[in-house]
Structure 1
Amino acid sequence: MDAGVGAAYEEAAVLYANGGVGDAEKVLNAVLDDPSGNAGEGLWMMLLDLYKLTGQRQRFESRVLDYATRFERSPPPWEDLSSQAARPRGDVAPLINLSGNLNGQAAPQFQQIGIIGRKSGTIRIDLTRLRSVDDDGCKLFLQLLQSLAADRVKVSVLKCSQLVNMLEGQVSAGRAENREAWLLMLEMLQYTGEEERFEQFAVDYAITFEESPPSWAPKVQEAMSASDAGATEEKVRDGFRLEGEITGSQGESIRKLAAYAAERQSVDVDCAQLRRMDFVSAGTLFNILATLQAQGKLVVLHKVNAMVAALLRVMGVDQVAQVMLRN
């Protein structure tokens, strides 16, 4: 790759990584249309993948003929990889994070969660980042769970033990206060499967409020099923998955890779649904993969689109892991 082409390769990769789709396209087209240039197949694949990633079929069809003529081979087929074309897969449950302070102002958020859950038929709610919840927030959350259950939506609540412990500190047997916190705590215990602990609190609830507590109805199997079915960015049957658009503010999936690889010598990462990764996230990925390589682990990134692969090459990720392009 000569200096000019190499510079264009890097520039287009970084522009796309930062969200500059139009600018990246201009850079690639300028090199490919230069009669005195020596653009190789790599730049062509970047442009064709860029059109796939942005859903520009007409431009793809126009350019793919030039590719076929240039390299005298069958061109890659059209495949819409844009976010607009992404459809919920049967084996994936949407993941929603509840974070910060949960109170009565969260009503619109819970309404949206309900819409997402009913649309997909299954949903995961992660409580890892939840810091506090008041009685109004408890009521809204409980109403959401009951509504989804009535509509037969499969629900997985992740880190619900954390919420149980939080709520336990807000209730007191014999003091008829924070009733919604009591009820949500009993609901969460049915997700954790802690029947003995549930029964203890149910008795305390009955004494405190002088009314019958909810009945024990474990939801562990349903929650596990939804969780297993919905590992969006992490675990899949035979590896780990990165997908969507990963930016510095949404790079948790990259950090989870280290934990996933902890007990494995060989790690396969499915990147078929990964559309874009920004510069910061690529740097984080390099650091994690360099550490794993130093530990003697082999990491293979499978089905990486040409635009993301170019960024990974610029960042040196291909030096600490194997990067396999999409076919």
Structure 2
Amino acid sequence: MIAQRHVARATERKIDAIEFEMSRDIVKTRPPVVTKLDISEPTQPMDNKYHGMDFQSTLPMMLPTDYLLGQHSELSASAIAQSESVPLLEEAAILFASGQNQVAEQMLISVVKHPQHGIGTEIAWQMLFDLYRITHDQYKFESLSLDYANKFETSPPLWPENMPAMEQDTPQDQSSVNVTFPSKFDAGIVKNLEKLQQSSLKSHSVRLDFTRVKEVDPVGCGLLLRAIKNLKKSGHDLMLVHAQEFADKIRGILQVGRRDETEAPWLLLLEILQLLHFQKAFEEASMDYCVTFEVSPPAFEAPRNNVTSSFPEITLPEEMSDKFPMPVTVEGKMDILLKNIADQAANYNPLVLDCSRLDRVEFSASADLLSGLAPIAAKKGMSIRFEEVNYLVMMLFHAMGLKNIATISTRKH
């Protein structure tokens, strides 16, 4: 046991030394302060133009005066039909789906500042609230809430509990940091982590790709464990690619009851299982960890960060329920997600797609979703429902024609 402790301490010192060298090599620069945008008084004149776009290319809307968007979770068919006379809302939704958050924001601000759009203005308010929630911008969310309360004389949506706020001095570069790890996951990943540390200062979204990983080493596990904890503290959005297979490779070097040179592989395994929302697998691994190191098992804590995976099948529960849970982000290849949805449709009618966790649908993925759901909707007697949809995704679905094959109900704020 004494020998094992010496080896463990030596491994931890090696990890500490590598991190120290990383911190010496990286020149830390403070990112520029983000200008706070005042909805009531924009910091820069918009003149209803942005990047050559005309923000007044809309038609007036005529909807019943008793329709108050904030009190309904589902838009009526007539309201949706009328809302389509404001193409800016659909354009903003498509831009958001394409990752152009800042342009979408300016377009929505233009709509909320022109009340002649009727109910379309109210939809734009809700789309802005969703945009600020998804991008973790609590300052703008609360500023918009004050304006909303003054305008509508009713309670605004509330900032979600346990939602990490974006720091005021975090640059709002919408590009995602992409870090692909090599086949051998050991001390050599220090170069990848240096790139991660530098690039994460300029972006709020990080993509960790484990596709190439074939061998896992405890030192590499220790380095990544510390990096992930730092990303969680800073509130970064995480995209994990092939994380489930990576977790299996970590599990392959562990043995219950055998104390290796460091606890890092065990702790990294538990961290990844939490990020993937694999609670049952986490509890099983935590008990093995408890037995091995004779400590109390850690409790499962769902991540506060936005965490997505390139494998939508992880969102399908072990026991199928009457509602299919959509992932946080729908993007990339759709084959597995559409197969899981088809399996759900084979067992349940109506097909209910729970979008309570869904934040964004990539523009190209929305077209694939439409083509994948169309054959299901064409079956005699089959109906499809999207429930708890945020307003940005709702307008994208209507722009793409998903409203023609499914009922879409919005999320209650």
Taking structure 2 as the reference length, the TM-score comes to 0.46
Q: Does 1:234 align with 2:321?
A: no
The one-character-per-residue Cα deviations of 1:271-323 (angstroms, maximum 9, x if unpaired) are: 11111111111111112222111113222212111111110111111221121
CA–CA distance in structure 1, aligned partners of residues 222 and 371 of structure 2: 34
Q: Are 1:54 and 1:81, in contact at CA under 8 Å, matched by a contact in 2?
A: no
Q: Give the partner amino acid of 1:233.
A: T
Structure 1: any 5+ residue segments left out of the alignment? 86-95, 128-139, 157-229
3-state SS of paired residue (2:375)? helix
Q: Does 1:28 align with 2:104?
A: no
Alpha-carbon spacing, 1:42–1:248, altered in 2? closer, same or farther (3 Å):
same
Structure 2: any 5+ residue segments left out of the alignment? 1-57, 61-84, 167-207, 230-241, 258-265, 274-311
Could you tell me which residue of structure 2 aligns to residue 309 of structure 1?
A: 394
Could you tell me which residue of structure 2 aligns to residue 147 of structure 1?
A: 254
Could you tell me which residue of structure 2 aligns to residue 258 of structure 1?
A: 342
Could you tell me which residue of structure 1 aligns to residue 139 of structure 2?
A: 58
Alpha-carbon spacing, 1:33–1:256, altered in 2? closer, same or farther (3 Å):
same
Alpha-carbon spacing, 1:33–1:149, altered in 2? closer, same or farther (3 Å):
farther
CA–CA distance in structure 1, aligned partners of residues 256 and 391 of structure 2: 42
Higher helix share: 1
CA–CA distance in structure 2, aligned partners of residues 284 and 270 of structure 1: 18
Q: Are 1:57 and 1:78, in contact at CA under 8 Å, matched by a contact in 2?
A: yes
CA–CA distance in structure 2, aligned partners of residues 308 and 36 of structure 1: 24
Q: Give the partner amino acid of 1:257.
A: I
Could you tell me which residue of structure 2 aligns to residue 173 of structure 1?
A: none
Q: 1:12 deviation in Å?
A: 0.3
CA–CA distance in structure 1, aligned partners of residues 324 and 355 of structure 2: 9
Taking structure 1 as the reference length, the TM-score comes to 0.56
Could you tell me which residue of structure 2 aligns to residue 292 of structure 1?
A: 376
Alignment partner of 1:106 out of 210, 214, 218: 214
3-state SS of paired residue (1:323)? strand
Q: 1:143 deviation in Å?
A: 6.6
CA–CA distance in structure 1, aligned partners of residues 372 and 134 of structure 2: 26
Q: 1:8 deviation in Å?
A: 0.9
Total equivalences in the alignment: 224
Stretch moving more, 281-290 or 232-241: 232-241
Q: Give the partner amino acid of 1:3.
A: L
Could you tell me which residue of structure 1 aligns to residue 158 of structure 2?
A: 77
3-state SS of paired residue (1:309)? helix
Residue identity (%):
26
Stretch moving more, 256-265 or 72-81: 72-81
Alpha-carbon spacing, 1:266–1:311, altered in 2? closer, same or farther (3 Å):
same
CA–CA distance in structure 1, aligned partners of residues 152 and 59 of structure 2: 22
Q: Give the partner amino acid of 1:253.
A: L
Alpha-carbon spacing, 1:8–1:57, altered in 2? closer, same or farther (3 Å):
same
Q: Give the partner amino acid of 1:276.
A: R
Alpha-carbon spacing, 1:287–1:35, altered in 2? closer, same or farther (3 Å):
closer
CA–CA distance in structure 2, aligned partners of residues 142 and 79 of structure 1: 36
CA–CA distance in structure 2, aligned partners of residues 35 and 125 of structure 1: 49
3-state SS of paired residue (2:347)? coil
Q: 1:57 deviation in Å?
A: 1.0
Q: 1:244 deviation in Å?
A: 2.1
Q: Are 1:52 and 1:80, in contact at CA under 8 Å, matched by a contact in 2?
A: no
Alpha-carbon spacing, 1:239–1:308, altered in 2? closer, same or farther (3 Å):
same
1:165-184 equivalences under 5 Å are none
Q: 1:68 deviation in Å?
A: 2.4
